[in-house]
Amino acid sequence: MERMRTVVRGVGHNLPSQVVTNFDLSKFMDTSDDWIVERTGIRERRFVEPGTTTTDLALPAIQMACSRAGVTPQDCDMIIGATLSPDFFFPGIGTVLQNKLGMAHVPALDVRAQCSGLIYGLATADAYIRAGFAKRILLVCSEVQSPILERTNRGRDMAVLFGDGAGALIVEAQACAGGEAPSAKNNVRGVIDSIMGSDGSGAQLLFLKAPGSVVPGFMTQAAIDAGDIHPKMDGRVVFKNAVTRMVEAASNLLERNGISPSELDLVLPHQANLRINEAVREKLGVSEDRVFNNIQKYGNTTAATIPICMSEATEQGKLKEGQLVMTLAFGAGFTWGCNLIRW
């Protein structure tokens, strides 16, 4: 069998038009623009209008990715969804999108890796493509999180952090000419390497409890009253773990590919907190101009942050074909990881 590589052919994104500023949130809870900006870097985020689902939000992102790749969803032979906020408790968004997009009866699966959704999704797509199981995969990362945020004082630590958004990638199998796979040392385009990790001892340090099988009947009035229908987090522990794990994963990825941080053209980190990204950047020794951040405008859109960054960086001319690019994320689970890509 011919050796295959995974090339990102097109990226798209979509954000709701409704802008919610820090000042807007301060009308519902004791918070301030100063507190939020100083702690997180976030100035505003986008919330969907009531009734917009996660797959609704994803459709324009998919359309943009397809048009940039010069393909249609029907040209894809697999769909991978990544979200923590699916349209339904089950099934996942993969199958819902398969139907909405009028795709053939292709395999559809969801990865549940929360903020690491793009990393896990791309690594999974790469593995399927290299194994010869798929030729062109639609990878969709979409989140509608605003309805589950508790916009009161009790929920203010979480409510100020998150927003809604969607991103999509078309990734395609291309033959490795002469059997040469993408590497940090050549100019062959494609996914070079990925690292994924997890630590379930942190599962309840960043999670949404209900609906879930730990709750009798998956949902009770007591769970609603206790606020278990809203995400909860131990912010300080998550912060420390995020920095440690992202630095560790990125260092391992760079070392095993024989490159130094200065050889990276662009780092696309998950957007959870500007201070986390700044700490990771400093520890890795990457210069400021090589890290792309947009959390200021959108907050944390969980699985969608990195594809939105990819799409915006492309539009701004910062992400270009041939560059050596690293993605990097940490999220609920805990999960973390990074991809190294010759763009």
Q: Catalog residues that contact ligand COA under the rule CB under 6 A.
A: 31, 35, 39-40, 115, 156-157, 160, 233, 235-236, 238-239, 242, 272-273, 276, 300, 330-331
In whole angstroms, the minimum distance from the beta carbon of 25 to ligand COA comes to 8
- Residue 142's alpha-carbon distances to 13, 147, 153, in angstroms, are 9, 14, 27
Residues carrying an active site annotation: 115, 270, 300
Whether 81 contacts 109, CB under 8 Å: yes
Residue nearest to ligand COA (CB): 235
Cβ atoms of 269 and 245 closer than 8 Å: no
Residues 6+ apart with CB under 8 A from 255: none
For residues 195 and 336, give the distance between their C-alpha atoms in angstroms, rounded to a whole number.
8
Instruction: CB nearer to ligand COA: give 83 or 314.
Output: 83
What tokens appear for 41 in the block? 């870097």
**3-class secondary-structure state, position 227:** coil
Angle at 304 between CA 303 and CA 306, to 5 degrees: 95
Amino acid at 258: G
Nearer to ligand COA, 35 or 207 (CB): 35
Residue appearing with tokens 């985020």: 45
From first CA to last CA, the distance across the chain in angstroms is: 25
Query: What would the DSSP string read from start to end of 287-306?
Result: -GGGB---HHHH-B-GGGHH
